[in-house]
Structure 1
Amino acid sequence: MIKPLRLLACLAVCGALSGCAGAFLSAAGPSIRQIQHQSEPDQPDATPPYQLIDLSAATIGPYMRPPEPEPVATVTAKHMPQLRLSPGDVIRLMVADTVADGGIFAPLSAGGTVFQQLRVEADGRLSLPYVGHIRVAGLTPYETEQLIRRRLKGVSVDPQVHVALTGDQSGAVLVAGAVKHPGRVSTLDGPLTLLDAINRAGGAVLEPYLVRVTLRTGDHAEI
């Protein structure tokens, strides 16, 4: 007789604990009974908060995802814009002298004289030794090289000049939102498509059907 009494006592305690848990733990949402009850309006003109639908092959159509559009057969070729300097750009400048001894700049065989991290100022100018302040905004790297060579005429004998863009502000693309690595993506490696920029930012963190891409260029936006 002792064992059955102990068993009944345990069942009674478990029942009490389950009742307490049901009273104090919050539910994830309305129960099926609540939904069924609220789907029937109390008044004829009232709109119920829930509408029960018997899904079948005949009724599921309006709730299905629309079909994906067919991919186009033609693909636009990548456009390679002319690279021009703008305020904020950072360049690397190499100037080499043709004479091995006595020149202002190091000879080309020694790698020339290199100026690293030259930033184009907000007014579009660049400050260089023996050259002074020159306006380079709007010029291509080749045009900048020719301008520096002309300014060095009489200072150096036939100087060799090379300009390389190392940090571009005008060509950088900002990728923000639900991507793995938001930030700026440079176009120094070549022209970017919209998909290239998203992939370089780590790709989207959402499912493809939840992704919406907004392209902003100045005051214009496309979705």
Structure 2
Amino acid sequence: MRTSLLFAALLLLTIGAPAPAQVVGDPVDPSRGLGAGRDTLGVAVPAVRPEPARTPSARRMSSSLDPALLLDAAVDRGTYFVGPGDVLAISVLGAANLFYELSVTPEGALVVPTVGVIPILGLTLEETEARVRERFLDYYRNVEVRVTLSQVRTFKIFVVGDVPDPGPRVASSVTRVSELVPDTVALSQRNVVLQRAGGDTLQVDLTRFRHTGDTRFNPTVREGDTILVPGVDETVAVYGRVFFPGVYEFRPGETLSDLLQVANGNFGFPSDAHDEVRVSRFITPDERDFLVFTRDQATGAEGGAFVLQPFDAIYVPAVSNYKLQKTATITGEVVHPGTYPIRPDTTSILDLIEMAGGFTAEASLVSARLRRSHADSVRPATAQLEQVPLEIMTEEERQIYRIRQQADERNVVIDFEKLVGAGEDVHDIRVQHGDSLLVPEQRAGVTVLGAVLLPGIVAFEPGRSIEAYVDLAGGYSERADQEDVVVLKAKLETQLDREDVRALDPGDTIVVPFEEDKDWLAIFNTTSGVVGSILGIILAYIAATR
């Protein structure tokens, strides 16, 4: 009977074994195939034709493109279940030296030359090796038998439910659920159901896997599995200072400590998170109750016993300015420009200058300026006015616009000449975090720009008028707009109209604008557009209030 079974197995191998058996021993001419021969114990081995070499892309379709068919870690021999399509390498060493690379049949068996058919369906790789070793020891003595996984199998599973394209998917024995379910906010990620062919059901939490890397919440699939993706309904939320704030799907039975672990990704709370954790819970459709935990309570036994309910919200405030290094920057004509630590309540302007080594000989104290970083440089009203042509502004709007354009509201008014001369902070101004002090180089002259014949720097002379400087710059050009001449003061870069200038100082700039022809068509079109927009708003309001 054993002889008949052995002969039948060998015959099956001869006519259609999925992977040829190779006996390590005498060299074989590859062009002739494996001829009939005997192994080291004299057992006959049938002749088999060599299978054409298959490239990895042919053996594993699209493996280079589909991550679901790639390994993410070494195969665990104790948990990997062997199935149809797996390719196993069997090596026998000792009194007999044999090597076989065989595919598991669709029935879940190995057909091994000289040994026969070995059923292995449902066994792990470790259990498969034990069974194959046991069978070989029936025929050979003093041999070591090892079974390794040479190639993982591919198969078909189904993804159904609230997914864009429900239906079959190609997977392998190392594919995880996350590789088959789209990572989309609109789809369920925390209540995915994995139904095994044998009837077992696993609850899959892909969000927890992606935040923590815990593969227990992202198992591998098997033949016959069905992945069910439900729709998103009830939610819980985590706000504030956690690593992954946001709205999460409600997961029945989840506790406060569980969700905080998901929201922090196993990293613990951020260092600037407050020690208080608040939970807001609806006790009626309109009324809420608030519960307060410390961080240790929320992540400990108390939080582990606090089961969340749908639409709970968790709030973790942040500690303001946590370990913030407060600094100010000084640039330009100082000995050591750079950024320096400050104490906003005690560090003065003179302290900052002293830390920078003091002014250089070329420093312009008149033009030096301190600028705050937190002041808004552009007000909403100014931004709106910038969209309106000057020609259609009211007189009040023009005044506001000009005031905003003439000065930078981040500048702090300081007389550095008086400050340095007195040797003490006569202004009693303290440096704030983010302040920047710019000390430009001295300029000996007054710059004349714009519609003049010889624009450039003119030597400064006390008491000299704007007209005198313009004359020294060659005089006005033909297109000069003499009525709108402005002066940019070196101190704080303030812009003044010519009639507002009391005296010119070194470093000041005189700007003579060019006359421009007004584009009345553009003005008309802009005005029509503004009026049309206002009319549209009025009509929409009237229609809505009827």
TM-score normalised by the chain length of structure 1? 0.40
Structure 1 or 2, whichever has the larger Rg, is 2
- TM-score, scaled relative to structure 2: 0.19
Normalized per residue, the structure richer in strand is 2
